[in-house]
Structure 1
Amino acid sequence: MSDGIDDKSKSDTIDGLNYAKEVVAQRVNLPHRFENIFKDIEIISGGNGNIVCRYTIPKNLSNTHGSLHGGIIASLVDAVSTWGLSTATKHHRHISVDLSVSYMRKAELGETITIEGKTVKLGGRVAFLTATLLDKNQKIIATGKHTKLILENKL
């Protein structure tokens, strides 16, 4: 592991869009994983602990007010920040120890949103992540902080 995510010379840091797409495909294409509800997500960029996705909100993920359900937003924070981390921790498993979300505006059904997942700090055992959901005008829908424990045993 690296204690700074920006050091591209570290062997455990994986850079590149293709690897990010591979990470996501492995997660969303399995029927028994919660991420399969995001099977239509598009990966725009990724690597080195970060990822940017685009997602068109389907109607079946609505709340009673007709916008994207807050639980789904929290799931996007969880999934996308984890996918970003996975591009920097090849073959390492990790588990969540904390997740928080701040909701700032609603996301309309049918709207295409952008989700940015970033690894802020990657230590030997703990990773600090963020995720930001943006509407079509780049206004913030929600932000999230996610802390993960990096497990010693590899996949």
Structure 2
Amino acid sequence: MAPHHIEHLNDWMSQMNAISNRTDEDGPYFLQECFSRSKVVDADEDSAVFEYTVQKSDCNISNNFHGGAIAALVDNLTSAVMFTRERKYFQLAGVSTDLHVTYVSAAPLGTTVLVECKVNKVGSALANTTAVLREKDSGRIIATATHTKFNTDSRIGGGSKL
């Protein structure tokens, strides 16, 4: 575990939490609970482990972690892992071009999940990341995912460095 990687990631997560908790005239933002409920457990250059507890708002009718909620969590946390260090590209989180989740087993309400995220490659236009979601207590795999991001820095004015 590298303290400066955790610090850099926590700073970005804090900024995203502040942004996501804003409400404008149309209502709250989509990310409202993701960053505030995700805890950084470990981080290094290009990888991070987050802890997340499945709550009622994450569940389907069977009180299991809903596939859409898993996909949204993966989308956000694999974007967050990009900020474990400063980069030449992807000063902003970019946008998704492909998100593929394989659901392996159920995670009932109250399950604490570890989300292991990794940056596999970052170029000037695309970044490739992966995630594995595991039940914290048993290590059982809940889902695996791949996520491709497109760099939007030039379209949004370059963003600000953290």
Give the TM-score normalised by structure 1.
0.83
Identify, as 1 or 2, the structure richer in helix: 2
Q: Structure 1 stretches of 5 or more lacking a match?
A: 1-14
Give SS of 1:17's match.
helix
- Alpha-carbon distance, 1:120 to partner: 0.7
Instruction: Tell me which residue corresponds to 1:54.
Output: 51
Runs of 4+ in 1 over 6 A off after TM superposition: none
Contact map agreement 1:27 1:33 (CA 8 A) in 2: no
How many residue pairs are counted as aligned between the two chains? 141
What does 1:6-155 align with in structure 2 at a 5 Å threshold?
16-29=5-18, 30-31=20-21, 32-38=28-34, 39-89=36-86, 92-93=91-92, 94-135=94-135, 136-153=137-154, 154-155=158-159
1:95 offset after TM fit, Å? 1.3
Counterpart residue identity of residue 29, structure 2: R
**C-alpha displacement of 1:89:** 4.9
Deviations 1:105-125 (A, max 9, x none): 011111111001110111222
Q: In structure 2, do the counterparts of structure 1 residues 104 and 111 end up closer, same or farther at CA, with 3 Å as the change threshold?
A: same
CA distance in structure 2 between the partners assigned to 1:111 and 1:138 by the alignment: 12
Where does residue 8 of structure 1 map in the other structure? none
Take 1:88 and 1:34, find their aligned partners in 2: how far apart are those partners? Answer: 25
SS in 1 for 2:130: strand
The amino acid of 2:30's aligned partner reads F
The alignment yields a C-alpha RMSD, in angstroms, of 1.7
Higher mean displacement: 134-143 or 91-100: 91-100
Conserved 8 A contact 2:128-2:146: yes
Give the letter for the 2:116 counterpart.
E
TM-score norm. by structure 2 comes to: 0.79
1:57 Cα deviation from its structure 2 partner: 1.1
For 1:56, give the aligned amino acid.
Answer: T
Q: CA deviation at 1:45?
A: 1.7
Post-superposition Cα deviations, 1:70-115, rounded to whole Å, max 9, x if no partner, equal: 1000011101100001334557121111111000001111111100
Partners of 2:153 and 2:9 in 1: CA distance: 22
* Between 89-98 and 66-75, the greater mean CA deviation after superposition: 89-98
CA contact (8 A) 2:6 2:84 kept: no
